Amino acid sequence: MKSALQISNDQKISSSLFFFVVTAAQIGVGIHGFQRVVVKNAGNDAWISVILASLFAHIVVFIMIRTLALYPSNDLYGIHLDIFGKYFGGILNFTYVLYCTFAFYSVIRNYIEVINTWVFPNLSQSFIAAALLILVIYAFTGGLRVLVGVCFFSFMTGLWILIILFMPLEYAHYNHILPILGNDLKSIFKGAYSMTFTIVGFEIINTLYPFAKEKKKVQKYVHLALLFTLFIYLSVILVSLVYFSEAQIERTLWATLTLFTVIKLPFIERVEIIIICFWMIIILPNLCLFSWAAYRGVKRFKSINETTFIWIFSIFIFFANIPIQTRTEIDQMNNFFAKIAFYIVFIYPFLLYIMASLKSVLRKGGSKE
């Protein structure tokens, strides 16, 4: 088998940690305002769209792991080289590296905008970008185990946000979600499609799978992670639907953050400010995992150590933040990324599985002869 990875036992991670990795990878900046785009398509049936998007994610994960199971000692990059050869496989690998870089850029650019809009309007975007990138560099150079530890820490320290998420239900109007299935199926499926930007992240298993100690258990923990993120996104969309009217959601850019503005605690006046600042810990795993996935692909082209890569990568991202400034430009970037992610994350795995299965059958047939 071409380009098989040589991974020592001390580099491998427990399969149970995939639950925290996938959860941390899926929850990022998209949760701040995904309600607007979903409700615009599916109306008050947006919560059904969220369920459908998650269901399709489960199907895609099943196919992804079936493909990876055919190459237990290889990641997506190695599978490309084995199936498509050095040149076309190299093109596909380069495309996936670009996708991971684009995903990293989308996360950091959206979070910078939230910080500038809600917390520090006069703070330089370059300063925020540099601060975030320094954190990524510090975590990245610690290796994969440190990155997984960041995912675990992010998950455990962020659970308290779930508790206060339900406080706006005090002002809920439950008739807002009625009538159920009042919108046509086409609109509901469009709403599910618009969840692409928010729900992606689980594709990190394409590069992480070879590092699992017990590969047979990976699928269970990844599906559990998808169920947990479904609970979070479903809770957010339902709370939003019963608090806001449909028209209000369509006009609210960051509906989740707006929900937190109604919460008043005796010892904290602006809860949303605390949450936005704390969200840096939530998006840090996103940034670390996408940069690590890009690094695994770059290593297929050129031998480079982790420190050199992450510095070059961070410098590139820092200067890439400069051209895009306005909300319109960021919206266009998000829409473009969502279209690319839909094909790479939700469509391509099915094609790759067919090709990998055919390759496996031909290989077995050749060995018998």
Summarize pLDDT for 274-318 with one digit per residue, the tens. 888 888 999 999 999 999 999 999 998 888 888 999 999 999 999
Query: What is the predicted pLDDT for the residue at 366?
Result: 58
- Residue 335 covered by a domain: yes
What distance in Å separates the CA atoms of residue 35 and residue 46, rounded to the nearest whole number?
Answer: 8
What pLDDT digit, counting tens, does each position of 23-80 carry? 999 998 888 889 999 999 988 899 999 999 999 999 999 999 999 999 888 889 999 9
Mean pLDDT of the chain: 89
| Residue 268: pLDDT band with limits 50, 70, 90 | confident
Query: What is the predicted pLDDT for the residue at 240?
Result: 92
Over its C-alpha atoms, the chain yields an Rg (Å, rounded) of 21
What pLDDT digit, counting tens, does each position of 93-145 carry? 999 999 999 999 999 999 999 999 888 888 888 899 999 999 999 999 988 88
Query: What is the predicted pLDDT for the residue at 325?
Result: 75
Show Cβ contacts of residue 296 under 8 Å, excluding neighbours closer than 6 positions: 75, 77, 207
pLDDT greater than 90 at residue 166: no
pLDDT greater than 90 at residue 85: no
Query: What is the predicted pLDDT for the residue at 107?
Result: 93
What is the amino acid identity at position 327? R
| Residue 312 burial (CB count, 10 A) | 12
Query: What is the predicted pLDDT for the residue at 25?
Result: 93
8 Å CB contact between 208 and 290 = no
- Residue 122 covered by a domain: yes
pLDDT greater than 60 at residue 92: yes
| Residue 183: pLDDT band with limits 50, 70, 90 | confident
Query: What is the predicted pLDDT for the residue at 368?
Result: 54
pLDDT greater than 80 at residue 226: yes
| Residue 231: pLDDT band with limits 50, 70, 90 | very high
pLDDT greater than 80 at residue 7: no
Higher pLDDT, 360 or 87: 87
Rounded to 5 degrees, φ, ψ at 3 are 55, 35
Provide mean pLDDT across the span 239-251. 89
Q: What angle do CA 290, 292, 293 make, to 5 degrees?
A: 65
Query: What is the predicted pLDDT for the residue at 65?
Result: 94
Find the domain containing 307 and state its range: 19-360
Q: Tell me, what CATH number does 242's domain have? A: 1.20.1740.10
Q: Determine the straight-line distance between the first and last CA of the chain, rounded to whole angstroms.
A: 18
Looking at 238-242, 277-281, 301-305, 322-326, which range is the least confident one? 322-326
In the chain, the number of structural domains is 1
Query: What is the predicted pLDDT for the residue at 122?
Result: 87
What distance in Å separates the CA atoms of residue 216 and residue 283, rounded to the nearest whole number?
Answer: 29
- Residue 139 covered by a domain: yes
What distance in Å separates the CA atoms of residue 223 and residue 122, rounded to the nearest whole number?
Answer: 42
Provide mean pLDDT across the span 14-18. 92
- Residue 199 covered by a domain: yes
- Residue 167 covered by a domain: yes
- Residue 365 covered by a domain: no
| Residue 266: pLDDT band with limits 50, 70, 90 | confident
Query: What is the predicted pLDDT for the residue at 367?
Result: 56
- Residue 366 covered by a domain: no
Provide mean pLDDT across the span 132-160. 91
Query: What is the predicted pLDDT for the residue at 298?
Result: 92
- Residue 333 covered by a domain: yes
Show Cβ contacts of residue 341 under 8 Å, excluding neighbours closer than 6 positions: 99, 103, 196, 197, 200
Range 72-83 burial, b when 16+ CB lie within 10 A, else e: eebbbbbbbbbb
Query: What is the predicted pLDDT for the residue at 263?
Result: 81
